[in-house]
């Protein structure tokens, strides 16, 4: 429940910020808000929570008079947890639906794929993409149309490492992660760097891929 409330508050904040630009981009008497979430795939628990929160937020804002007198229209598409589906949905929202902003799914793989497209289409994406590559380019400059509503994976990894060492008392640590998952990969380097900085030891680093079933070797 606490996580759903947090998501709802984030959505309300994002929609509230639209008042800065909504009047110039709204179509007719409404402001179109795009929403691309996993509603039927492996991450549908998160996707449905965000979608439900967005619906509640839009209902509340419209009941209170909208933004600068304009009503909000939420257009939601199911990504099915698939990067290509998400890209198609974003392009549809940015082009056909004339969305002012798009609420993205909490999936870093999708966020990374959307970043260059959002820069081209100039329709901002707001989401809980934890991988810093979603919001920061390789040269260290920000992705201008990608926005984050939670801490980055660097901060998250350091919190995990701190708990592991200080609360659990572990000093010699093994790392096992899914190399095919951007979220997992984004945690590894900052986690190991924190452990080593605090005097700990990475005993072994092993990888696996999504779908692997044999972990004996």
* Packing angle, helices 2-17 and 44-63, rounded to 10: 50
N-terminal to C-terminal alpha carbon distance within the chain = 40
Asked if the domains at 2-148 and 153-208 fall in one CATH topology, the answer is yes
| 92-107 pLDDT tens trace | 999 999 999 999 988 8
Backbone angles phi, psi at 6, to 5 degrees: -60, -45
Assigned CATH class of 153-208: alpha beta
- The reported pTM is 0.73
What is the rounded distance in angstroms from the CA atom of residue 48 to the CA atom of residue 4?
10
Domain boundaries, given as residue ranges, for the chain: 2-148, 153-208
Are residues 182 and 133 in contact, defined by beta-carbon separation less than 8 angstroms? yes
* Pick among 3.40.50.2300, 3.40.718.10, 3.10.290.10, 3.40.1710.10: CATH of 2-148: 3.40.50.2300
pLDDT higher than threshold 60 for residue 6 = no
């Amino acid at each position: 429940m606490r996580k759903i409330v947090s998501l709802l508050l984030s959505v309300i904040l994002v929609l509230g910020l639209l008042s800065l630009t909504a009047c110039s981009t709204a179509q007719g008497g409404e402001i179109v808000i795009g929403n691309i979430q996993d509603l039927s795939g492996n991450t549908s628990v998160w996707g449905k929570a965000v979608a439900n929160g967005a619906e509640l937020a839009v209902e509340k804002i419209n009941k209170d008079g909208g933004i600068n007198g304009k009503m909000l229209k939420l257009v939601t598409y199911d990504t099915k947890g698939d990067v290509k589906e998400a890209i198609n949905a974003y392009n549809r929202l940015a082009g056909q639906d004339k969305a002012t902003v798009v609420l993205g799914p909490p999936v870093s793989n999708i966020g990374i794929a959307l970043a260059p497209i959002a820069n081209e289409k100039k329709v901002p994406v707001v989401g809980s993409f934890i991988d810093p590559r979603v919001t920061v380019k390789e040269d260290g400059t920000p992705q201008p149309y990608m926005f984050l509503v939670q801490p980055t994976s660097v901060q998250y990894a350091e919190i995990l490492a701190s708990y592991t060492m200080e609360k659990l008392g572990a000093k010699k640590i093994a790392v096992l992660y899914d190399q095919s998952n951007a979220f997992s990969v984004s945690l590894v380097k900052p986690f190991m760097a924190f452990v080593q900085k605090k005097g700990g030891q990475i005993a072994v680093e092993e990888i696996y891929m999504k779908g692997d079933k044999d972990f004996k070797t």
